[in-house]
Amino acid sequence: MNPYEFIKDAIILGDFSPGERLTEEALASTLKVSRTPIREAIKQLETDGLITPYKRRGYIVREFSLEDIRQIYNLRALLESFGASEAALYRTSEELERMYNKNAAYEIAISKLKRSDILTIRNVQQVNQEFHEEIFKATKNEHLRTHISKVVVVPLIFRSFYWYSERMLLRSLEVHKTILKAIENQEPERAKIAMQEHIYQGRDDVLQQLNTPGIEVLKRDTQ
């Protein structure tokens, strides 16, 4: 596994805790590689929103308060619902076909999900992200896609799939189908409402899990 994937998985799974300091020297020693690939990995992890600079002395694993999470999801709901409505207006038949193909892949990924296998969890998260990205591409609005990319925080999305029950995942799949039907029929308001509810439901599920005793990853004291 390359340094980027190793550090990313360690952060997502909680081996590197929120607020923990990471340095190039320590990571290079742990992984037994030079500092060059570590430096490249850190740059990508910062872009992903997984780590943040710490007083010019390395980086720390990014922390999220419950209010951070609420605000992130609320902003996603606003942006992504607008994106779905725009996609309904401007999508092409080829773009619609790609959306359907991605959602079919999402259904397959769900059927193969194993909680003990991080690769299957990552696959569900990745295919879901690709489905949403196909919708954003159909908007023909690069400014919107740029803003959305800044609020789709990887660890939060990943953990939501890690926590989701089969019932929750199948519910997500059905909402995808509703969004797709609205986009296919070029019904912007219906697509907007369905996407907004989809994101809000994800927000509520994550907040509920973080308020469950024993769930510590990505949670910090908000007092």
- Each residue's pLDDT tens digit, 153-172: 665 666 677 778 888 899 99
Using the predicted structure, report yes or no on whether residue 48 has a pLDDT greater than 70.
yes
Average predicted confidence (pLDDT) for the chain: 88
Contact yes or no for 176/131 (Cβ under 8 A): yes
For the domain bounded by 66-210, which CATH number is listed? 1.20.120.530
Across 35-76, the runs of DSSP E, i.e. the strands, are 51-53, 59-61
Task: Please report, in angstroms and rounded to a whole number, the separation of the first and last CA atoms in the chain.
Answer: 38
Using alpha carbons, list the distances in angstroms from residue 100 to 7, 31, 114, 184: 33, 40, 24, 10
The CATH code that applies to domain 3-61 is 1.10.10.10
CATH 1.10.10.10-classified regions of the chain: 3-61
> Phi and psi at residue 117, in whole multiples of 5°?
-120, 105
Listed in order, the ranges of the chain carrying CATH 1.20.120.530 are: 66-210
Give 81-109 pLDDT, tens digit per residue: 999 999 999 999 999 999 999 999 999 99
